[in-house]
Amino acid sequence: MKKSNDKAAFLGSITASVTHEIQNVLAIIKETSGLMEDFLKMNQAQDLSDLEERLNGCIETIKRQAYRGVALTSGLNGFAHTSDNAQDSINIYKTIEKMISIASRLFVQKGFSVSIIQSNKKDLIVTDPILFQMIIFLCIECLIDTFQTKAAITIDIQSIENRSAIKFLYVNTDLRYKDCEQQVMQDDHWIKICDLSTHLGISAKAYADSPGILLLFK
Amino acid sequence: MNNQNIKILLIDDEIEFISTLAERLELRGYSSKTAEDGESGISMVAKESFDVVILDLMMPGLNGLDALRQIKILDAALPVILLTGHGSTKDGMEGMRIGAFDFLMKPLDINDLLEKIKLAVNESPKG
């Protein structure tokens, strides 16, 4: 029951963030079409010599926002379909890349940029796709909440002793951190990360000397 | 106060939204300025005089409610109309508790916004 509640909360927070952004896209399209109406009304009262140019500018804005909206809804649709199967074979890199793309607004709101280091690795795992994305999300949130100062988080997929590993590194060269491991483990997200990692058969470790988390597949 | 004398500050990280809205307000005779985040909006309120602020609640960095608190410290009488893209009114109500004049949901209806601006200016102690 608790796992399904956590899943629902995770799906809810991602969906709320994306639909909020879609509202912004629609708001821009609505205002821009309203501005086109304004121009056409003005043109009836007095000929606007640059009417075509003004309308073309509006059309470009609407097109740009339509593309943005399509990308958002496609991403959300893909994300929603990851819950179709309780167990599935997933590509680690592609799944993380899509997840951070769809959740980026949530991270940006907190002043963080999250990126994944390009990888051609085709590491495939059979897992619960939603729980896998949840643990990725929780690791990012854990570093954001623990270290707080606006920075970048990079995710790197590596092989350690022939096992797939995911490294999350909080990158802020201006700051020096002490007791990183303790700080991460005191964050509320850490208990959830440990719980989920056990469920998924992953080991989770906080780095002692730098702000970061390692997920290692068994 | 006629539209020509009403100075509006729009604060939202959605640049195409505020630039289009500012243009629509200017076509109706209002004077408008824009800020792309809470920090620069607050700094503009500290330096210039405005009759109404239109403030988005969800922005990176300083969020709308925190920006509202700071604007109210700088100028308690300045009416602030909040914009929210959330489907619920919770944040808008919280904003009104802090001192916002009112709130509107995105996407906007320009006539609703114009109505709120007029009310805000008429009811403001500054008006």
Assign B77 a pLDDT band (cuts: 50, 70, 90): very high
Instruction: Answer yes or no: is pLDDT of A178 > 80.
Output: no
Instruction: Say if the Cβ atoms of A31 and B110 lie within 8 Å.
Output: yes
Assign B71 a pLDDT band (cuts: 50, 70, 90): very high
Instruction: Say if the Cβ atoms of B17 and A42 lie within 8 Å.
Output: no
In angstroms, the CA A171 to CA A190 distance is 19
Using the Cβ of A26 and the Cβ atoms of chain B, whether some distance falls under 8 Å is answered with yes
Chain B residues with CB inside 8 Å of A16's CB?
Answer: 86
Chain B residues with CB inside 8 Å of A32's CB?
Answer: 16, 20
- Residue A101 has a pLDDT of 92
Per DSSP, B28 falls in state T
Instruction: Answer yes or no: is pLDDT of A169 > 70.
Output: yes
Q: What is the nearest CA distance from A201 to chain B, expressed in angstroms?
A: 35
Across chain A, mean pLDDT equals 89
Instruction: Say if the Cβ atoms of B59 and A109 lie within 8 Å.
Output: yes
Instruction: Say if the Cβ atoms of B14 and A65 lie within 8 Å.
Output: no
Sorted by sequence, the CB contacts under 8 Å of residue B2 that are 6+ apart come out as B29
Least CB-CB distance to B107: which of A23, A64, A111?
A23
- Per-residue pLDDT, averaged over B109-127, amounts to 89
- Closest chain A residue to B63, measured at CA: A109
Instruction: Say if the Cβ atoms of A35 and B23 lie within 8 Å.
Output: yes
Dihedral-angle region of residue A108 (phi above 0 means left; psi in -120 to 50 means alpha; beta otherwise): alpha
- Closest chain A residue to B61, measured at CA: A111
Using the Cβ of B85 and the Cβ atoms of chain A, whether some distance falls under 8 Å is answered with yes
Least CB-CB distance to B106: which of A24, A65, A150?
A24
- Residue A173 has a pLDDT of 67
Chain B residues with CB inside 8 Å of A38's CB?
Answer: 24, 27
Assign B93 a pLDDT band (cuts: 50, 70, 90): very high
Instruction: Say if the Cβ atoms of B23 and A23 lie within 8 Å.
Output: no
Sorted by sequence, the CB contacts under 8 Å of residue A190 that are 6+ apart come out as A142, A184, A206
Assign A28 a pLDDT band (cuts: 50, 70, 90): very high
Instruction: Say if the Cβ atoms of B24 and A34 lie within 8 Å.
Output: yes
Using the Cβ of B29 and the Cβ atoms of chain A, whether some distance falls under 8 Å is answered with no
- Closest chain B residue to A21, measured at CA: B85
Looking at A172-176, B46-50, B106-110, which range is the least confident one?
A172-176
In angstroms, the CA A189 to CA A139 distance is 8
In angstroms, the CA A128 to CA A134 distance is 10
Burial class (CB in 10 A: 0-12, 13-18, 19+), A147: buried
Q: What is the nearest CA distance from A168 to chain B, expressed in angstroms?
A: 22
**Better-scored residue on pLDDT, A80 or B14:** B14
| Beta bridge pairs of residue B9 | B33, B53
ipTM of the complex: 0.92
Query: Which pTM does this prediction carry?
Result: 0.86
Chain B residues with CB inside 8 Å of A113's CB?
Answer: none
Do residues A104 and A114 lie in contact, with contact meaning Cβ atoms separated by under 8 Å?
A: yes
- Helical pair A129-147 and A92-102, crossing angle rounded to 10 deg: 60
Do residues A205 and A199 lie in contact, with contact meaning Cβ atoms separated by under 8 Å?
A: no
Residue range A64-85, pLDDT digits in tens = 999 999 999 999 998 888 877 8
- Per-residue pLDDT, averaged over A110-124, amounts to 84
Across A80-111, b (16+ Cβ under 10 Å) vs e yields eebeeeeebebebbebbbbbbebbbbbbbbee
